[in-house]
Amino acid sequence: MRIITSPAAMKAWAGEQRSKGHTVALVPTMGFFHEGHLALMRMAAAKAEKVVVSLFVNPIQFGPGEDLEQYPVDLDRDETLARHQGVSALFIPKPEEMYPRGFQTRISVAELSRHLCGADRPGHFNGVTTVVCKLFHIVCPDFAVFGEKDFQQLAVIKRMVADLNMDVKILAHPIVREPDGLAMSSRNSYLGPDERSQALCLSRSIARARELYADGVRDTGRLADEVRQIIEPVTGARIQYISFVDRTTLEPVSQADDNTRLVLAVTIGGRVRLIDNGRLAKGG
């Protein structure tokens, strides 16, 4: 496995692979790998002959007061885990190389970014789309793999690729969960034992909404009330949003159908912001 730190060297390596006729898949990450990341790498390896994993804690997608300085980092562990997944190259650029002096360009997907996490974190998705656009230009992958846990991010990336005629196929991997249902996230490492238990209210509320949908409940106001009844009594849990949206447009819906997705953001313990989501229809 190659460790590459410069965008120019990464571009050259990827170009060499394509000149040899190899297909290339990219898995963009911010590191501190867990089983969810490893599942993305395995999906990438099943689709392409060469897998590039980028490991970059992207400063421009963090807002004031967010956890940029505290975001967990363990490069040695990440390198070992990636190597065991058959990753061909690990791209670990420095912020000053991705955003050199004078950098001023941003990519914006306006409508899909305006609510949900976009409303809570102004400018966040502009930072995401900008770095992903740069990674696509550097690596020029045939495929790029993203997890469905960040469902709004996935929708935003797909829209950017379609709008800008980017020659890359976006692959979505289902949410990877702990045995008790908690969606895997690097930020789970912030949770203490009590907070870890409290965080299960997210997956429990999704399960309850699915039960009600299977029983014929379609009114999303009623479904949202049931979700609140599970989350609000949990000590230390504060709802940022509960929304039932169309899975493609992310627009809120009043009547659920098989294309409806429940998306949640909840702060646990007053400091750890967690997101989760799930399709209401069976198998979602």
The set of catalytic residues is 37
CB 26 within 8 A of CB 141: yes
Q: Which two tokens stand for residue 110?
A: 């306006």
CB 185 within 8 A of CB 268: no
What is the torsion angle, in degrees rounded to the nearest 10, for the CA atoms of residue 117, residue 123, residue 128 and residue 133?
140
Closest CA to 57 of 173, 187, 181, 238: 187
Compute the distance between CA of residue 121 and CA of residue 110 in angstroms, rounded to an integer: 14
Closest CA to 149 of 186, 194, 98, 115: 186
Q: Which two tokens stand for residue 134?
A: 């740069």
Under DSSP, is residue 145 helix (H, G, I), strand (E, B) or coil? Answer: strand
CB 156 within 8 A of CB 125: yes
Q: Which two tokens stand for residue 169?
A: 């196929």
Under DSSP, is residue 102 helix (H, G, I), strand (E, B) or coil? Answer: coil
